[in-house]
A and B are shown apart, each in its own frame.
Chain A
C-alpha cells in the first residue's frame, strides 16, 4: 500500500486534534477534587453522553481493523458480533444489572464484587482485569500503529509512544470525565470517517442488495447457509453463535467489563445509568453499516472495485 503524503493542512488538523484533547483534560483538571469526580465524573453525566462513550470505549483501531477484516473473510456473518453478540447482553445489562451496580454506590466493578462477595473476589477480578487490559491495550496500540504506518508511513514506535503519552496526559489531568468527552469526540470522528466510505461504496455498487449479491457463496447473508449444529468442519453454526457468542461471550463481556460499566456508573441517576447501554444498543444496531459493508469490498471478495 502506498502511504499518503501529509501537507501542512493535514498536520494542522492533527495538531489541532491533539491540542483539543489536551485542552479538555486541562479544563477539567480543576474539577478533579475527589475520587468520585476522578473515577465517576461526580455521577453527573446524561445518558446520551455516557451511552456514546459506552460504545466508543469498545470502538477503536481494533474495531476498524478487526471487524472490517472479519467482514472481508466471513461476509455478512460479521453482523452477528453486533446483533447477537452485543444487543441482547446490552439490554440485559440496562434492565437488570445497571440498577444493581448503580444503587450499590460502588465506584467500579471490582469494588461492587467486594461489597457483594469479599476481598478475595475483588482482588481476583482486579488482577484478571489488569492483565486483560495490558494485553488488549497492547493489541489496540499495535493495531493503531499498523494503521498509521500503512496510511501515513509513521514509524511503529513513534505512533505507539505518541498515542500512549496523549492518552496518559488527558486521563491523568481530567479523569473519567475527560476520557468520556474524548470518547464522544473520537466516536464522532469515526462516524465522520467511515460514513462517507460506506456511502461511496453503496453508491458505486448501486445499492446494498446489489453489493451483497456479488459476494461469493452465502457471504452476503447473516444466517443463510449456517448449519444448525456442526462443531467440527464448520467455521460457525447457529448453536455456537446463539449460546457461545450471544450468551457466554456477549454477557461475559458487556455485563461485567470494568471499562464499559465505568461509563454507565458516571451517569447522573440510576435511570440514566440504565439507559446508557440502551443508547449504546441503538448505535450498535446500525454500526454494521459502517464496518461490515466496507469489509465486503475488500479481501477475497470480487467486489473490491467498488471503492
Chain B
C-alpha cells in the first residue's frame, strides 16, 4: 500500500508540476481566503502572550 501510494503521489506531483508550472502565487492565496477573522484571533493571541510575559516576567 505504501509503495502504491508513493508511486501514485510521485506521478501526480510530476503531472501537477508540468501542468501548472510554478504555482506560487500570493495574490491567488490571498483572494481565496478571508483572513480578516484570522488576524483578529492572532491579535488576541499576541495580547494574551504579552500579558503572560508581563505576569511571569
A-chain residues with CB within 8 Å of residue B34 when the two chains form the complex: 271
Whether the Cβ atoms of B8 and A83 lie closer than 8 Å is: no
Which of A83, A107, A175, A285 lies in contact with B13, CB distance below 8 A? A107
Per the bound structure, the CA–CA distance linking A6 and B25 in Å amounts to 57
Chain B contact residues, majority secondary structure? helix
Q: Determine whether A105 belongs to the interface, using a CB cutoff of 8 Å to chain B.
A: yes
Whether the Cβ atoms of B29 and A91 lie closer than 8 Å is: no
A-chain residues with CB within 8 Å of residue B49 when the two chains form the complex: 83, 87, 285
Which of B2, B5, B8, B16 lies in contact with A105, CB distance below 8 A? B16
Q: Which of B12-53 contact A (CB under 8 A)?
A: 12-13, 16-17, 20, 22-26, 28-30, 32-35, 38-39, 41-42, 45-46, 48-49, 52-53
Which of B2, B9, B22, B52 lies in contact with A115, CB distance below 8 A? B22
Q: Which of A142-158 contact B (CB under 8 A)?
A: none
- Chain B nearest CB: distance from A38 CB in Å? 4
Whether the Cβ atoms of B35 and A95 lie closer than 8 Å is: yes
Chain A contact residues, majority secondary structure? helix
Interface size on A, residues (CB 8 A): 39
Whether the Cβ atoms of A99 and B22 lie closer than 8 Å is: no
Per the bound structure, the CA–CA distance linking A87 and B1 in Å amounts to 37
Q: Which of A29-87 contact B (CB under 8 A)?
A: 32, 34-35, 38-39, 76, 79, 83, 87
Whether the Cβ atoms of B1 and A172 lie closer than 8 Å is: yes
Which of A35, A105, A223 lies in contact with B23, CB distance below 8 A? A105
